[in-house]
Amino acid sequence: MSGVLHILGVGPGDPELVTLRAARILARAPAYAYFAKRGRAGNSFTIATPHLNPAATALRFEYPYTTEISVEEARYAEGMGAFYDDCAGRLAGRLAAGEEVALLCEGDPFLYGSAMYLFDRLRGRFRVEVTPGITAMSGCWSRAGAPMVHGDDILSVLPATMPAAELAAALTRCDAAVVMKLGRNLPKLRAVLAETGLLPRALYAERGTMPGEVLMPLAERDDSPAPYFSLVLIPGRQGVR
């Protein structure tokens, strides 16, 4: 009988925000897998560490690259596809042997999560159960004390990698927004928000719920590249309430 793959959202960073279900599965799973950048411990592993079965086998999936080459290059898709194929193969071997494996994913697995690519590759052959996690955005707006939407407000989640004109147009079609994938796009985003009149409402959040957390108005943040764990919140709730 095949084993079960548990894809676990482990939340935005604070180990206390791991769900009871995820913690229960982690405590018993004989093996767990996690993604990591070369030379780094791995974000999901760091979050989940207090909950892991100390006797469990660890499978480290090390990205061939992250920001070293552009996602627009053909070799990026080819390399990442081969990487995900290899990861799925390593998991498949254990699942076929009847082993239960927990795959860790920071935030929620189905929101920009690498675990989705392994879900796509394995769901047709094995039993896969997904445990949702608290998202980075909800962790950040809670820590920032920034209620985001009410009534009929429309919330958009946007990548800062969009061209400036498209980003501006998208922002005019919603009441509140979360802008992710900041990196070197912060100056462009700041200019777009100034142009659309949204800069005074914009909040910058970095490492929300984690040690080293930074929460501040975006207008007060410089234009140096933003780290991976960062996003911008633009609260709605501008109507009668």
Residue at which a domain ends, from 90, 108, 134? 134
The single residue listed with the structure tokens 């962790």 is 139
Are residues 66 and 151 part of one domain? Answer: no
pLDDT in tens, 189-237: 999 999 999 999 999 999 999 999 999 999 999 999 999 899 999 999 8
CATH number of the domain to which 11 belongs = 3.40.1010.10
Secondary structure (3-state) at 237: coil
pLDDT in tens, 42-55: 999 999 999 999 99
Largest Cα span, the chain: 59
Owning domain of residue 142: 137-234
Asked if 164 contacts 192 with a C-beta cutoff of 8 angstroms, the reply is yes
Query: Rounded to an integer, what is the distance from CA 23 to the centroid of its chain?
Result: 19
At residue 56, the pLDDT reads: 97
Residues 126 and 12 in one domain: yes
Domain boundary residue among 86, 118, 134? Answer: 134
- Whether residue 193 is found in the same domain as residue 205: yes
- The per-residue pLDDT for range 89-142, each reduced to its tens digit, is 999 999 999 999 999 999 999 999 999 999 999 999 999 999 999 999 999 999
Strand 214-217 relative to strand 203-206, pairing: antiparallel
Separation of alpha carbons 43 and 52, rounded Å = 14
Please tell me the predicted confidence (pLDDT) of residue 90.
98
